[in-house]
Amino acid sequence: MKGLGVSLLVALLLVLLAIEDTVSKKMTIEEAKKTIKNLRKVCSKKNDTPKELLDGQFRGEFPQDERLMCYMKCIMIATKAMKNDVILWDFFVKNARMILLEEYIPRVESVVETCKKEVTSTEGCEVAWQFGKCIYENDKELYLAP
């Protein structure tokens, strides 16, 4: 019976170590992009966003098309970076600190400070679009939208 207790304790310790290792693992930008990749299908269907508009983002093409703008809002809501048509700036930075490698954090903070001034709309889809466009224009590597 004593051996069983020791075995359970060792198993619990191994599980806790595995959880801690998983929690503390920080990601590169590419890994972060992969984690939200599936949102593209969900949000593009929800907003009937054509592939051409989605692909254009990665070439710096951000037309003021409602479908693209609302697609971007969908991504931000799904990642909890936006609520009630407002960008959660502090959450965005806090989340970046938790998931991204330390080397990216100063860049994220800089882009957020810049974009806080450039996002002027109060309409949700346009807010998200202005933010996404601003990120791309200031540090395109940090543009994570799928």
Question: Is residue 86 very low, low, confident or very high in pLDDT (cuts 50, 70, 90)?
Answer: very high
Terminal-residue alpha carbon distance, the chain: 53
The pLDDT of residue 8 is 38
Report the percentage of the chain scoring pLDDT > 90.
82
Domains located in the chain, CATH noted: 24-138 (1.10.238.20)
For residues 125-141, average pLDDT:
97
**Would you state the pLDDT for residue 65?**
98
Over 70: is that where the pLDDT of 6 sits? no
Question: Residues 48-84: pLDDT tens digits?
Answer: 999 999 999 999 999 999 999 999 999 999 999 999 9
Hunting for tokens 């600190």 — which residue is that?
97
Closest CA to 132 of 112, 105, 102: 112
pTM for this model (two decimals): 0.81
Alpha carbons 82 and 77: distance in angstroms, whole number: 5
Please report the pLDDT score of residue 82 as a whole number.
Answer: 97
Q: What average pLDDT does the segment 103-113 reach? A: 97
